[in-house]
């Protein structure tokens, strides 16, 4: 920025000393336009539109690191509400990017090992939070929610919590630290709306015609790692498969109509209480 201001000042001095008379008008216009572009650079960058993919990448980065301190809704630090655009030390996107990368000396905010692009993606996600943040429509009770989760909802047939339940679906032991309440409510009512890459289901057919369906854990050029419907870990060579189908829709069914609005709120409240910290027996 300092270099840009210096360049603009140099152009103004250069023109003020009478050099304008020796330049063709179109050259003068070109110099002035270039100087203006340098001065407006940061503002133009701040206004550059970002794609939905940038926001999604920013969400993964935020959940992977930032949510540990700021919480999934961005409001776990007193005086800071990232989900509603309330920041202590930043008023522009450029300032946010700088804080994300360099941290804030003398505070608990450490420098982040992010490239400029990654930090910009995190900012894009934070901006999206401000436009989409919402609270569940009904206040819930975590105690009642746990009873529903383990009973009527039959959630343990797919999910595990602190070692109890199934491994067919994602483990939810720390879901309250990673997901927003509004996201959890939407996942219960509209599970097919958005399936995270790490939660995808895969169906494969072997050379002998055997079909295996399960949760995709990992895959590369040569191998595929999955947890089948019997919770058996399978490492398969792709050369032994004649068909591989990555299922982008969720296998879960909606709880809309199966649980009341109050029951949904209770389950969400219970899920938000799961922070990955086990209670210590006295």
Rounded to whole angstroms, how far apart are CA atoms 250 and 268? 19
pLDDT (0 to 100) of residue 8: 41
For residue 26 the two structure tokens come to 């179109």
- What structural domains and CATH numbers belong to the chain? 2-39 (no CATH), 52-132 (1.10.760.10), 142-194+253-272 (1.10.760.10), 201-247 (2.30.30.100)
> Residue 6 has what pLDDT?
45
13 Cα distance to chain centroid: 48
Separation between Cα atoms, residue 232 and residue 226, nearest integer Å: 8
Q: What is the pLDDT of residue 35?
A: 38
CB 264 within 8 A of CB 149: no
Cα 137 to chain center, whole Å?
23
The pLDDT of residue 152 is 94
Here the tokens at position 250 are: 């969720």
Which residues, including other chains, have CB under 8 Å from residue 157's CB and lie 6 or more apart?
A: 165, 166, 168
pLDDT at position 179 is: 78
Give pLDDT, residue 233: 92
Residue where the block lists tokens 């505070």: 107
Q: What is the pLDDT of residue 280?
A: 41
What integer pLDDT is reported at residue 223 of this predicted model? 94
Instruction: Print the SS3 string covering 63-83.
Output: HHHHHHHHCCCCCCCCCCEHH
What are the pLDDT tens digits along the chain (282 aa)?
Answer: 444 444 444 443 344 444 434 444 444 434 333 333 333 333 333 445 677 788 888 888 887 888 778 877 777 787 777 777 777 777 788 888 888 898 888 888 888 888 988 988 888 888 877 666 555 557 899 999 999 999 999 999 889 999 899 888 888 998 887 777 888 888 898 886 656 666 788 999 999 999 999 888 889 999 999 989 888 999 999 999 999 998 877 767 889 999 999 999 999 999 989 987 554 443
């Amino acid at each position: 920025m300092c270099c840009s201001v210096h360049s603009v000042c140099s152009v103004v001095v250069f023109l003020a000393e009478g050099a304008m008379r020796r330049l063709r008008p179109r050259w003068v216009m070109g110099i002035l336009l270039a100087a203006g572009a340098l001065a407006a650079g940061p503002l133009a960058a701040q206004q550059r539109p970002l794609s939905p993919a940038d926001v999604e990448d920013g969400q993964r980065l935020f959940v992977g690191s930032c949510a540990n301190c700021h919480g999934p809704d961005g409001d776990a630090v007193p005086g800071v509400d990232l989900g509603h655009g309330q920041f202590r030390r930043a008023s522009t996107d450029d300032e946010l990017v700088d804080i994300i990368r360099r941290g804030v000396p003398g505070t608990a905010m450490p420098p982040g090992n992010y490239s400029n692009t990654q930090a910009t993606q995190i900012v894009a996600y934070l901006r999206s939070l401000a436009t989409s943040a919402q609270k569940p429509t009904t206040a819930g009770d975590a105690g009642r929610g746990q009873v529903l989760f383990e009973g009527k909802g039959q959630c343990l047939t797919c999910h595990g919590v602190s070692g109890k339940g199934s491994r067919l679906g994602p483990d939810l032991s720390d879901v309250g630290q990673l997901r927003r309440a509004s996201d959890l409510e939407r996942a219960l009512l509209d599970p097919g709306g958005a399936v995270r890459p790490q939660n995808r289901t895969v169906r494969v057919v072997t050379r002998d015609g055997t079909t295996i369906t399960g949760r995709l854990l990992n895959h590369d050029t040569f191998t595929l790692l999955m947890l089948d419907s019997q919770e058996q870990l399978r490492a398969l060579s792709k050369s032994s498969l004649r068909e591989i189908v990555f299922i982008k829709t969720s296998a879960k069914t909606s709880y809309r109509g199966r649980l009341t609005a109050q029951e949904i709120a209770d389950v969400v409240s219970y899920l938000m209480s799961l922070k990955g910290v086990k209670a210590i027996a006295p």
